[in-house]
Amino acid sequence: MKRVAIIDDWGGLASGTVAWERLTGRVDAQAFRDTLADEEALAKRLAPFEIVVGVRERTRFTAGLLGRLPKLELIALGGGMTGQVDMAAATARGIVVTDSSGSGAAAIEHTIGMIMAAVRRIPQEDRALRAGRWQTAVGIELGGKTLGIIGLGKIGSKIAAFGRLLDMRVLACGLTLTPERATAAGATMVPLDTLLRDSDVVSVNLRLSDKTRGFLGARHLALMKPTAFLINSARGPIVDEAALVAALRERRIAGAALDVYDTEPLPLDDPLRTAPGLLATPHIGYVTRELYTTFYRDAVEDIAAFLDGTPVRVLAAPGT
């Protein structure tokens, strides 16, 4: 019987999925609801397991870590492969790596929810009402305003459609965006600086890469209107967190909404926790019952196929 570690199960959702019943009697599974950042502690935890089931981007499997897990045979990831596994090292050690199918709908819906909650001050009014107060803040209407989208891909294009539905003018920029693609999405392609100066709501929807890490810094935030809102549901390191905290504390922008952070889970002493005008959610953009069901259904299917010796959706190392 193989031992299975279900890691990064922050909400206890993975281990409660009915898909695991298919492996009853075939594996000994143990779920861990925390994420270990220390490689020594992580290696010690995972050393007894032949199979690890992870969630996208929460734990990185470096060459060093993989070298300390001699029993490891299979890594089954929930979500699309995002570079969290050193594939060359895994391939060299004969470790099979799989990922799951998914959907962008959850992230799109969450981004829309963050935009609406931020501009209408919904969290602030909820807290005020529970404290006995009544109508303490004034929101804004989005109709006739300008929505700026940084990264007009699968998610960004849907956010653009949402903006058009509300009669917003939509601007867009991106590393590979063309005027033709922007027009097809109902947006106008402009330089980044122009987008930041003209937009009332800026939505960050880029992929994280070496080119986008630190993409928005203090200089960029200084271009935004004092009445504008920044929404980041993409990846934390795309926006300079220290610069954003300073902009919020100095009231240089009206507010921000974040679902992603440099360090996750967010440390208890992180300055973002006390930043004024910030709506913060714990990276739940893709955390839905439907998507988690897909993640772990696919993981269970891959584990069953692996145990049966039948073909598995194996990811390959670059160049192999």
Looking at residue 2, what is its pLDDT?
Answer: 96
pLDDT at residue 57, as a whole number: 80
> Digits of tens for pLDDT over the chain (320 positions)?
999 999 998 888 776 666 788 899 999 999 999 989 899 999 999 999 999 999 888 899 999 999 999 999 999 998 776 678 999 999 999 999 998 887 779 999 999 999 999 999 999 999 999 999 999 989 999 999 999 999 999 999 999 999 999 999 999 999 999 999 999 999 999 999 999 999 999 999 999 999 999 999 999 999 999 999 999 999 999 999 999 999 999 999 999 999 999 999 999 999 999 999 999 999 999 888 888 888 888 999 999 999 999 877 776 555 44
Task: Give dist(CA 273, CA 114) in Å, integer.
Answer: 17
Is 283 annotated in the active site? yes
Report the pLDDT value the prediction gives residue 20, as an integer from 0 to 100: 82
* pLDDT at residue 289 in the model: 85
Q: Which of 110, 121, 283, 297 is catalytic?
A: 283
Identify which of 14, 19, 13, 68 has the alpha carbon closest to the alpha carbon of residue 39: 68
Does 264 qualify as catalytic in the annotation? yes
Q: pLDDT at position 320, please?
A: 45
- Please choose, from the candidates 228, 223, 226, 217, the residue with its C-alpha nearest in 3D space to the C-alpha of residue 194: 223
**CA gap 55, 262 in Å, rounded:** 17
**What pLDDT shows up at residue 319?**
47
Q: Among the options 125, 235, 241, 297, which is catalytic? A: 235
Question: If you search the block for the tokens 């967010």, which residue do you land on?
Answer: 266
pLDDT, position 15: 66
Q: Which domains are present in the chain?
A: 2-103+288-308 (3.40.50.720), 105-280 (3.40.50.720)
- HSE-CB of 238 using CA atoms within 13 angstroms: 21
How many residues in total does the chain contain? 320
Marked catalytic residue, from 207, 264, 301, 313: 264
